[in-house]
Amino acid sequence: MTVSVIKQTQCGQVASELERQIGAGLLAPGRKMPSTRELAKRFEVSQQVIKSALAVLEEHHLILRRSRIGVYVNPAAFTPPKKELCLLSIRHREYGIDYPGRMLSIPSSFIWRDTNLVIRSIAEQNFKSGILRYEIEKLKNTHVDCLLVHIDLSKAQVAAFKTLPFPVVFLGDCIPVECHKDGWNQIVEDTGERARAMVAAAATCHRRHVVLVAGALSHYYCRVLKQAGEKAARELGVTFRYAEFNQAAYQTREELAAKRQECVDAILRNGTPDALLLDGFDHFGLFADALRARGVAPGRDTLLVGDGEMYPGAVFLHTDYREFSTETMRLLAGLIANPATAIGHVVLSGLIKRTPLKIAAPD
């Protein structure tokens, strides 16, 4: 009698867990079920318990037995509701690169077939703490399984997200480093890899005096860029400088051109580099024009290297985020399935493929 009760309890537990996995899409409709032996090993029960649990699933029309083929999840069992992801970001002007778009660009991933992604953007010129609080209040009244955030925030602004009833994940180095120890969920690339790749691309082209142009060193990721660039330069026998550039301080293309001219002038006052490493910039032509205006031939005297645009005579650092994106979505799927389990501060290294391409200049 005792053995019978235990077996029945185990059977019910296994059947409930398999039903949960089918409902969550972990065992997808039409997919072949693992073998009885494999399931018995996974659940640490006998094969007889597994057979009894599968019989329960069959009674509930969740699985189908196909003669000489095996047991499959019933495609008509039920369609689980799609998960709702929301991305909150700043809507930049036309001269900005869509960084979260790169991080999440996996159109062929199976995860996206079961996920809706809604983008809520705040205009860059309107962004302030009051607007952010308003957006957070609106989110409280929406159904979201997980909120993704890509906005440069202060520690106080980050704390405002604690009021939301669903998991929040910050994408990229957009929150202060002191927030890392506060238990926030954050997924970032290894920023140092990007700096090392740019320095290496310049060194491969026999450039020995490089300047890395990026954001203000008040940002944590910019300090990481600088340190990694300095280290890579030492290892490759390259002299290295870092130039801060505030790309956000403009309203029109003319203002942007003027800001880039100011940046180039400041660089040239300390000597003419033979390579400019442009982190996250597009519209390379504005940098090229600024160099020409000071008698420096872009491509010949100073090589432009970056991942933002294919520009004639420049080195384009082609970036492939597919592996990075797939791992990001795997982490998000796990967090959505179990919101009580935080993923913490995650740095994904070695998943972004960077290939330097020399863009031919017109004759």
Instruction: Write down the pTM of the prediction.
Output: 0.72
How many CB atoms neighbour CB 208 within 10 A? 14
Q: Of 42, 116, 121, which Cα lies nearest the Cα of 336?
A: 116
Just give the CATH number of 83-189+323-349.
Answer: 3.40.50.2300
Q: Which residues pair with 320 in a beta bridge?
A: 353
Cα distance between residue 174 and residue 224, in whole Å: 13
DSSP per-residue string spanning 16-36: HHHHHHHHTTSS-TTPBPPPH
Cα distance between residue 358 and residue 87, in whole Å: 34
What is the pLDDT, as a whole number, of residue 274? Answer: 95
Structure token digits, residue 211:
């300047």
The yes-or-no answer to whether 2-73 and 191-319 have a common fold is no
What's the angle, vertex CA 35, arms to CA 65 and CA 49, rounded to 5?
Answer: 85
Ramachandran area for residue 344 (φ above 0: left; ψ -120 to 50: alpha; else beta)? left
> What are residue 27's phi and psi, to 5 degrees?
-115, 95
| Residues near 172 by beta carbon (within 8 Å), at least 6 away in sequence | 99, 100, 103, 150, 187, 188, 189, 221
Tell the CATH topology of 191-319. Answer: Rossmann fold (3.40.50)
Where does the chain show beta strands of DSSP type E? 63-66, 70-73, 83-91, 115-123, 146-150, 168-171, 185-189, 209-214, 239-244, 275-278, 303-306, 315-320, 345-348, 353-358
Structure token digits, residue 130:
């009051």
How many CB atoms neighbour CB 329 within 10 A? 20
Tell the CATH topology of 2-73. Answer: Arc Repressor Mutant, subunit A (1.10.10)
What is the pLDDT, as a whole number, of residue 109? Answer: 46
What is the pLDDT, as a whole number, of residue 25? Answer: 74
Is residue 73 within 8 A of residue 27, CB to CB? The reply is yes
Domain-by-domain residue ranges, the chain?
Answer: 2-73, 83-189+323-349, 191-319
Question: Which positions of the chain have pLDDT values less than 70?
Answer: 1-9, 78-80, 91-97, 106-113, 247-249, 363
Cα distance between residue 2 and residue 10, in whole Å: 13
Identity of residue 248: A
- Inter-axis angle of helices 47-59 and 36-43, to 10 degrees? 110
- Please, what sign has the CA dihedral across residues 15, 17, 23, 25? negative
What is the pLDDT, as a whole number, of residue 16? Answer: 84
Is residue 103 within 8 A of residue 171, CB to CB? The reply is yes
Residue range 44-63, pLDDT digits in tens: 899 999 999 999 888 888 89
Is residue 320 within 8 A of residue 351, CB to CB? The reply is no
Residue range 165-205, pLDDT digits in tens: 999 999 988 888 888 888 899 999 999 999 999 999 999 99
Is residue 92 within 8 A of residue 247, CB to CB? The reply is no
